[in-house]
Chain A
Amino acid sequence: MGKYIVKRFIMMIATILIIATLTFVLMHLIPGSPFEGERTTNPTIQANLEKFYKLDEPLHVQYLSYLKSIVTFDFGPSIKKPNESVNELLARGFPISFELGMLTILVALLSGIILGTIAALRHNGLVDYFAMTFAVIGISVPNFVLATLLIQQLAVTWDLLPAATWSSPLHMILPIIALATGPTAIIARLTRSSMLEVLTQDYIKMARAKGLSPVRIIVRHALRNALMPVVTILGTMLAGILTGTFVIERIFAIPGMGKYFVESINNRDYPVIMGTTVFYSSFLVFMLFIVDIVYGLLDPRIKLHRKEGDA
């Protein structure tokens, strides 16, 4: 287990380094200084910025200081909001996005696993049919489409739920539904197919031959094995959800990172874009690492390396 963790940790560091380097290279691919030709910035600010980013120094010095700024989580000031640093934006926006993301994955996990399990237990039955129809539709409807539909029907036409902002649990319902539907559908499909496979295994037959109750067989014997594949996709799924928050926050006017990020894209506010990307990527890669460790803890067969080829 220790070796496994170390290996995963090294992989995590390598991935973050690649992201950081990629960001650095891309930043320097922009013709000229990233701050040139910005009509809104005055020469003093530009000089300051160039100094902050050490643009006057050789490339390797820039790279090292850039890496240092990442390690110390210091992404510098925003260009468009000169009195705010990227750190301040992150500190303000990220907790809200994090809350939205975590609630979403929780909802998706719970409902997806329940839906998928019931569908598997009623294989080829009506419930199965409806659950899987829902799942394909859930995968096919983009979250921003769903979000606008929800706002129009539930918030505007029927006036059931508030349409915007993040001020009370009631306000959170629509954005979470919009963001969680896709992941729910994916988890439900995955749970169903792996549950169906597990249910044909001899150890399930053996558990039945022991005269155990159906609930115990499902919960103790089947679910734990069936959820292994679900755990493996949690990392990538979280990436999807967190990037999904960008649009969902924009649609629901939630003051999370997504709002600042989309703003920064539209204004070409490079430090904010870079900072957010590096921060989010590192966060996601770290979550991926956690998921891998959890997987290792759940499956006693994993000691040194996991099986090849599975996502």
Chain B
Amino acid sequence: MNGRKQKKVSSHVKVLQVDNLQVSFRTYGGEVEAVRGVSFDLYQGETLAIVGESGCGKSVTSNAIMGLIPQPAGIIKNGSVVFKGKELTGMTKPQLRKIQGVDISMIFQDPMTALNPTLTIGEQLTEGLRTHKKVSKQEAKQKAIEMLALVGIPNPTERLKQFPHQFSGGMRQRIVIAIALICEPELLIADEPTTALDVTIQAQILELFEEIQQKTDISIILITHDLGVVAKIADRIAVMYAGKIVEIGDKRAIFYTPEHPYTKGLLNSVPRLDLVEEELQPIDGTPPDLFSPPKGCPFTARCPYAMEVCDHVYPFTTTISESHSVDCWLQDKRAKVLQEQS
């Protein structure tokens, strides 16, 4: 386990580079700024977890990377997504389709609805492969059987002919993973892959992710609100709030030395085995309305340490270490003075 982690840190092949990504949705009520300038890098063989409350823009971020922002309501307003040297945001749909499912794959939250009820598992597994790579029906079938075996489905040959309703929830999520991996992509985006599953099955699926990553050196972006999942498989963590990444760092830094009050609040609101006696503390209040986002720090209204400056200006990014940075005015010298005074 540790050896693998070590190997990863040394890998510095940049797979994905997201820079100042901004996504908005036009709705009846006006324009919602769902993602407001998100930037991060992703290295080969690495798992980056994007965590945050629902509505914070984490799923929109992943859909934007994937080129799946619903048209015409959604617009990528600004920023760039560079995948292995190729800029994705300006691509036409046919160009994107050459990347979707081949180089970048996606897994959805609910395995009960992610599979088409009227097509067999075999058809759903092979169609991506047959579309993107010139393989015969036989070869595709062979590959599908291999994939089902890889994700741990017993009797894969027979089960190819079955329909989704003949599988349990955990099995279906394994099939969804097999479908996502069949073209051997380099980046896998998993949007809440375990949320809809039982706890025991959750653990099995997470183990499967680790196993696959060991075998294939795939990069994973994991979208979740479940810090337990994050603790288990993430290498780095990006904390999103109101369409912005407010803190990003490697797992140890985020879990043991969180700097942003929101990250701290998030960690305090989940049960931890190492701090039994401490009381769970929910974060009071709700995230701001993204129809008219505040000009300062969006967390100000809920932040126990809020200062006047937080209301006026969005904080600059402070780099704490090579792999840990945070957007918070508390990092400013002047704020530190204030804290010492009181």
- Given A300-B163, A300-B165, decide whether A205 and B108 contact each other with a Cβ distance below 8 A: yes
Say which one of B44-52, B98-106, B238-246 lies at the interface with A.
B98-106
Residues of B within 8 A of A201 (CB): 113
Of the four ranges (under 10, 10 to 19, 20 to 34, 35 or more), the interface on chain A belongs to 20 to 34
Please name all residues of chain A whose beta carbon is closer than 8 Å to the beta carbon of B165 when the two chains form the complex: 300-301
Beyond A202-B110, A206-B106, whether A299 also contacts B100 by CB under 8 A is no
Q: Which chain B residues lie closer than 8 Å to A27 at the CB level?
A: none
Q: Check B118–A224 contact: CB distance below 8 A.
A: yes
Q: Are A211 and B102 in contact (CB under 8 A)?
A: yes
The yes or no answer to A160 lying at the interface (CB within 8 A) is no
Candidates A205, A213, A301; contact of B97 at CB < 8 Å: A213
A26 CB within 8 Å of chain B: no
B53-96 Cβ-contact flags toward A at 8 Å (1 or 0): 00000000000001010000000000000000000000001001
Q: Choose from B68, B102, B113, B131 the contact partner of A213 (Cβ within 8 Å).
A: B131
A203 B127 Cβ-Cβ under 8 A: no
* Total chain B interface residues with beta-carbon distance under 8 A: 31
Q: How far is the CB of A296 from chain B (nearest CB, A)?
A: 13
Contact of A211 among B109, B132, B163, B176 (CB under 8 A): B132
Contact A208 B68 (CB under 8 A): yes
Q: Tell me if B113 and A203 are in contact (CB < 8 A).
A: yes
What are the residues of chain A within 8 A of B109 when measuring CB–CB?
202
B94 to chain A, nearest CB (A): 8
Provide the bound-state CA to CA distance between A222 and B302, in Å: 44
From DSSP, what is the main secondary structure of chain B's interface residues? mixed
Q: Does A68 contact B (CB under 8 A)?
A: no
Closest residue of chain A to B110, judged by CB?
A202
Q: How far is the CB of A170 from chain B (nearest CB, A)?
A: 40
- Cβ 8 A contact of B179, one of A205, A210, A221, A298: A210
Q: Please tell me if the beta carbons of A300 and B131 are within 8 angstroms of each other in the complex.
A: no
**Cβ–Cβ contact A301 & B117, under 8 A:** yes
| Distance to closest chain B CB from A109 (angstroms) | 19
Given contacts A203-B116, A220-B119, A221-B119, contact A210 B101 (CB under 8 A): yes
Quick one: which of B93, B119, B127, B163 contacts A210, CB cutoff 8 A? B127
User: CB-defined interface of B160-184 with A at 8 Å, one 1/0 digit per residue?
Assistant: 0001010000000000100110000
Q: What A residues does B113 contact at CB under 8 A?
A: 201-203
Q: Which residues of B contact A203 (CB under 8 A)?
A: 113-117
B294 touches A (CB below 8 Å): no
* A41 CB → nearest B CB, Å: 59
Contacts of B132 in A (CB 8 A): 211
Min CB–CB distance A59 → chain B (angstroms): 51
Whether A301 pairs with B163 at a CB distance below 8 angstroms is yes
Q: Is the CB of A210 within 8 A of B117?
A: no
Assuming A202-B110, A206-B108, A301-B163, is B101 touching A211 (CB within 8 A)?
yes
For A223, the closest partner residue in chain B by CB is B118
Query: For residue A221, which residue of chain B has the nearest CB?
Result: B116
Decide if B128 touches A210 in the complex (CB within 8 Å): yes
- From residue 289 to 310 of chain A, which have CB atoms closer than 8 A to chain B? 298-301
Q: Are B119 and A211 in contact (CB under 8 A)?
A: no
Q: A211-B100, A299-B118 are in contact. Are A206 and B179 (CB under 8 A)?
A: yes
> Max chain A CB contacts within 10 Å: which of B113, B116, B165, B180?
B116
Within 8 A of A (CB), among B108-139: 108-110, 113-119, 127-128, 131-132
Task: Tell me, in angstroms, the Cα distance from A224 to B114 when the chains sit together.
Answer: 16
Majority DSSP secondary structure for residues of A touching B: helix
CB distance from A184 to the nearest CB of B (A): 25
**Minimum Cβ distance to chain B for residue A135 (Å):** 23
Contact B127 A300 (CB under 8 A): no
B306-322 interface (Cβ within 8 A of A): none
Per-residue B-contact encoding for A199-229, CB less than 8 Å = 1, 0 else: 0011101111111111010001100110000
- Contact A300 to B128, CB < 8 A, known contacts A202-B108, A205-B68, A208-B100: no
The complex places the Cα of A97 from the Cα of B45 at a distance, in Å, of 68
The smallest beta-carbon distance between B128 and chain A, in angstroms, is 4
Residues on B with beta carbons closer than 8 Å to the beta carbon of A211 = 96-102, 128, 131-132
Q: What's the least CB distance linking B174 to chain A, in Å?
A: 14
C-alpha spacing A202/B132, complex, angstroms: 21
A222 CA to B26 CA, complexed, in Å: 25
| Residues of B close to A216: CB separation below 8 A | 127, 131
| Nearest chain A residue, comparing its CB with the CB of B100 | A211
Contact yes or no, B131 A210, CB < 8 A: yes
Contacts of A221 on B, CB cut-off 8 Å?
Answer: 116, 119
Quick one: given A209-B106, A210-B101, are A202 and B114 in contact (CB under 8 Å)?
yes
CB-based contact B118/A298 at 8 Å: yes
- Please pick, from B93, B100, B131, B163, the residue contacting A209 in the complex, using a CB distance under 8 A: B100
Closest to B106 in A: A209
- Residues of B within 8 Å of A220, CB to CB, are 119, 127
Q: Which residues of A contact B96 (CB under 8 A)?
A: 211
Residue of A nearest to B189 (CB): A209
Q: How far is the CA of A206 from the CA of B108 in the complex (A)?
A: 7
User: Quick one: which of A207, A210, A300 has the most chain B CB within 10 A?
Assistant: A210
Which residues of the partner chain A approach B66 to less than 8 Å between Cβ atoms?
A: 209
By a CB distance below 8 angstroms, the chain A residues around B114 are: 202-203, 205-206
Q: Which residues of A (163-219) have their CB < 8 Å from a CB of B?
A: 201-203, 205-214, 216
8 closest A-B pairs (Cβ-Cβ)? A211-B100, A211-B101, A210-B101, A210-B128, A209-B106, A202-B113, A211-B97, A300-B163
Given A210-B128, A213-B131, A220-B127, 9 more A-B residue pairs with CB atoms under 8 Å apart are A205-B114, A207-B116, A209-B100, A211-B101, A211-B131, A225-B116, A299-B117, A300-B117, A300-B163
B residues in contact (CB < 8 Å) with A: 66, 68, 93, 96-102, 105-106, 108-110, 113-119, 127-128, 131-132, 163, 165, 176, 179-180
